Amino acid sequence: MYLPTPNPIQSDHLLLMKQQQQRQRQRQQRQPLITMKRKKKSVCFFGVVFVKPYEKASSQEAVDIWYTDEDMALFKKEGRDMTVSYRNLTTSTTHNNTKKDDNEKDNKDLSMYRGFEYGSIRRQKHKIVANRCVLYAQRQGMTARHIASVYRKANGWFTDVAFLQAVHDCIELYDDTNNNSNGSGTVNKNNKGPPPQQEMMRMTTTLPSVAAMIPPRLFPFAMKSALALRKTTTGNKRTTSTPTTTTNNIVTSIDDQKRRKRQRRALFLLK
């Protein structure tokens, strides 16, 4: 009996069809897992808003409520006076650090200057050095990552000062709340430890004050950057101070005067 020889092209075509059908069945089995309907999320606002009725203020009452320009100028002047007073007090306490009673009195006086610690000469000097580190690193062509590491190292002392100030604020706050609660007559009988006031006083005596925080010694890069930028500022000052024309006719702007004042202050702090 004669059997026809199978065509290789036809057999390959059948094999491809079988593989395609098998892939289609597998795809249909996985289809519900892949194409799951996701809920569309949307934000909508409620149409009706209930507002508590209030009495509108007149124009005269608005003027009386808000601070005027004269009040803001007075606040700024009082802030500058407090900063100068704190600076003088801190410099006097650092030079006259002899008696224990005087130190306790000075610490009580310095506690009244909460928020004006930035005005001390130590912090201003350290801030100038930290900023000069960043400027010098940028002029040297360092990358952003290296500049950030330099700035982080230069400002590490400020982080410690801020943490210490936060601890003092927390102790003062909880000390006031404990005094108020004990004044009301409520006593916790289950507490077998020391009273909260004694614990707070013990913590305040062991912790140093913010004014007593001394900045660390400058690392070599900070000293190099401070000296380099100091030379450039003094060089620019010498070149600009040479008389070329009559100085009586030169009118300096307010920005230039402020900039020169800041430069003189920075040079005074870095001496």
pTM for the model stands at 0.49
Q: Which helix (H) or strand (E) holds 233?
A: helix 220-240
In this prediction, residue 199 has a pLDDT band, given cuts at 50, 70 and 90, of: low
Angle at which helix 121-139 crosses helix 220-240, to 10 degrees, equals 90
The Cα 220–Cα 104 span in angstroms is 36
In this structure, are residues 216 and 129 in contact, taking their beta carbons and an 8 Å threshold?
Answer: no
In this prediction, residue 97 has a pLDDT band, given cuts at 50, 70 and 90, of: low
For 117-141, what is each residue's pLDDT tens digit? 888 888 888 888 888 888 888 888 8
To which residue do tokens 């395609």 refer?
Answer: 20
CA angle 224, 121, 135 (to 5 degrees): 35
In this prediction, residue 76 has a pLDDT band, given cuts at 50, 70 and 90, of: very high
Would you kindly state where each structural domain of the chain is located, as residue ranges?
Answer: 72-181+196-237
Residue 136 burial (CB < 10 Å; 0-12/13-18/19+)? buried
Report the Cα–Cα distance between both ends of the chain, in Å, rounded: 117
In this prediction, residue 73 has a pLDDT band, given cuts at 50, 70 and 90, of: very high
Angle at which helix 156-183 crosses helix 144-154, to 10 degrees, equals 50
Amino acid at 29: Q
Mean pLDDT for the chain overall: 72
Long-range contacts of 111-118 (CB under 8 A, 24+ apart): 111/209, 113/82, 113/85, 113/86, 113/89, 114/169, 116/79, 116/82, 116/83, 116/86, 117/86, 117/161, 117/165, 117/210, 117/211, 118/83
The pLDDT of residue 249 is 45
What average pLDDT does this structure show over 238-249?
48
Which one of 148-157, 181-190, 193-202, 233-242 scores highest in mean pLDDT? 148-157
Answer whether residue 223 shows pLDDT above 90: no
- Radius of gyration of the chain from its Cα atoms, rounded to whole angstroms: 37
The pLDDT of residue 142 is 82
DSSP notation for 80-112: HHHHHHHHHHHHHHHH----HHHHHHHHHHHGG
The pLDDT of residue 75 is 93
The conformation of residue 5, written as its DSSP 8-state character, comes to: P
The conformation of residue 270, written as its DSSP 8-state character, comes to: T
Burial 116-133 (b: 16+ CB within 10 A, else e): bbebbebbbbbbbbbbbb
